[in-house]
Structure formats: C-alpha cells, structure tokens
Amino acid sequence: MISNEIHNHSKRKDKPFVAIDCGALSKELAGSELFGHEKGAFTGALNQKIGSFELANGGTIFLDEVGNLSYDIQISLLRVVQERKMRRVGGTKDIDLDVRIIVASNEPLWSAEKKGKFREDLYHRFNEFSIEVPPLRERKDDILLFAQHFLMLTNKELDKNVKGFTPETEKALKSYPWHGNLRELKNVVKRATLLTDNNFIEVHSLPFEISHFNKLQFDHSTEENTKQELMETSTLAPTEEEPTTPLSLGENNFKKAVYNAEFKIIMDAMAKVNFNKSEAARLLNIDRKTLYNKLKQYTDNL
C-alpha cells in the first residue's frame, strides 16, 4: 500500500505499477516471471513471455519479500539495478529499462546479507533510501481507523450497511497483536461484516483467538505464585507420626489435571512467541490445526 502511494504521488503515476510477491516465485520460474523468456528458451516455453520488469517499464515495480530470491536471480537483478538493462531468459538482445524499483522484506536485508543469504552489493544498491514501517501492533491508534476503512470497502463489496463496531469489539481489535498486519485486519473485518445482521459488529463475530485474546494471555505472576506454592508443598516431609498415604485421584480430577497441565504448556509456548499461533505450533511440534482446536476447546469452556 505504501509503495502504491509512492507511485501514485510521483511523475510516474500514469505509467504501470507492478507488484510481485517474491516469496511465491519458484526458483525455476523466478527468472521468467521477472525478466520474461523467449520462445523455446526452456522446456514448456511455447511462446514468448513479457516479464514483470518489462511490463513495469516507465513506471514502478514493487518486489515484496525480495530476500527470498535465489542467489542466481540476485545476480541478474544487480545488472538491472546497475545498468538499467535486462535480457529475457534465452534472449540475446538487451532491453533498456526506466523503472522505479521498490523492495520490501520482513527480515532486515542487512541481517540477511550478514548471514550470506543476500548479496552485499545488491543490498547497498537497494539501500539508497529506506523506510521502516512499524507493525500494526505498534500503531494501536491506527487499528480502528483502518478497521473502519476496511468496513466501508466491505459494505460496498457485499452490499451491506454495517455502521461500525461495538465498544467491546473495538477493545478486542485494539488488544490483538495482528501478526498479519493490514491483510489480516482486512480479512477479519470482511468476515465479521459477512456474519453481522445488526448495525454494529459484535465481538462474537470475530475469530475466537481475537475475541478471547485477553482471556488466553498467560498470567506470569500467577504462574510464579503457583510454582512457589508447589515448591513449598513438595518440601514438606512426612513425620513418623504421620505416615504417607497414596494420593487418590478420581477419573474426573485426573482428566482435569492433565487438561490444565496441557493448557499451561500451550500458553507457555504462546507467551514465548507473542501469541503467534504458527510459531507456537512449530515450538510445540504440532500442526496449526491441532493448536487451533486445543485453544477453541479451552475458550468454549471459559
């Protein structure tokens, strides 16, 4: 969205704007997608193809997640940046380019460069001017502004007339960390609008991990108090006058103990990764669907 605004406020605004998700490009076809190819350049190249750079000529090309490009493609990209020329895959003729190049990466490119994942010379070419965009969770005051904007767009798209959000829903939206940033917020607002029959979106129309986020957060102070109590209990040794007796747990109590222990492990993992469910599932060595079901099981019993 930011790169699009840069384009729209420039002298190139009447020329093409082309956005490419480099993370979605396969290693084999990345060169063809970016630079095009000639007929017969490789197996399956039945026709000539115009690449994204050529399509964006005169305008702007936006390369999202540029750090995912392979080293070979980075070499080709370096020539484009330095010489403002490109050659289609399998071609013999250089094509002059006049294009503004904007790139973005979730991982800082200087960090990827230090790890040997990104060419140093290409990094310095791209680092001519940089803008750091803080994540949505660090811009709490913007959340409701964007939510209202996405609601307006969704009303138009779905032919609805939802006016806004209840105070409880607004609170839930502002509390959630939004790891998916604007794209996640837009999808959530669209889903909630679809499920709403009233004038205002109520909290139960939100996904459960958002509507129950505050309840799902792990209370570390409670955890420490519980640990201390368990330690004190475990240090109490039996006296000769008070012989030990086997601990008797009924089936329901046992299930509850297992359930609580499992939930504690899950919430420990969630807290470590700032409630990013994908990262928590990876940490717990379970798939995301299993984690989702476990969380839903807990919230249904709240």
Backbone angles phi, psi at 85, to 5 degrees: -135, 155
The CA distance from 213 to 249, in Å, is: 32
Per-residue model confidence (pLDDT) at position 271: 74
Is residue 223's pLDDT more than 70? no
Cβ atoms of 211 and 172 within 8 Å: the answer is yes
Per-residue model confidence (pLDDT) at position 170: 96
The CA distance from 78 to 125, in Å, is: 8
**Overall pTM surpassing 0.75 (yes/no):** no
| Percent of the chain whose pLDDT exceeds 90 | 43
Is residue 297's pLDDT more than 70? yes
Provide the pLDDT confidence category of residue 242 given band limits of 50, 70 and 90: very low
The mean pLDDT value of the chain amounts to 84
Is residue 219's pLDDT more than 60? no
Per-residue model confidence (pLDDT) at position 279: 83
**One-letter amino acid of 292:** Y
Torsion of the alpha carbons at 201, 204, 208 and 211, rounded to the nearest 10: 70
Least confident of 115-124, 144-153, 254-263: 254-263
- Complete domains list, the chain, with CATH: 2-126 (3.40.50.300), 136-211 (1.10.8.60), 214-230+252-300 (no CATH)
The closest of 147, 141, 231, 238 to 185, measured between CA atoms, is: 147
The alpha carbon of 213 is separated from its chain's Cα centroid by a whole number of angstroms, namely 17
Provide the pLDDT confidence category of residue 41 given band limits of 50, 70 and 90: confident
Is residue 210's pLDDT more than 70? yes
43: how many CB neighbours lie within 10 A of its CB?
6
SS percent in the chain: helix, strand, coil, step 5: 55, 10, 35
What is the pLDDT averaged over residues 148-166? 95
Torsion of the alpha carbons at 91, 92, 98 and 101, rounded to the nearest 10: 50
Is residue 7's pLDDT more than 90? yes
Cβ atoms of 270 and 218 within 8 Å: the answer is yes
Cβ atoms of 55 and 49 within 8 Å: the answer is no
Is residue 15's pLDDT more than 70? yes
Query: What confidence tens digit (pLDDT) does each residue in 136-152 have?
Result: 989 999 999 999 999 99
Is residue 19's pLDDT more than 50? yes
Per-residue model confidence (pLDDT) at position 238: 47
Backbone angles phi, psi at 222, to 5 degrees: -65, -40
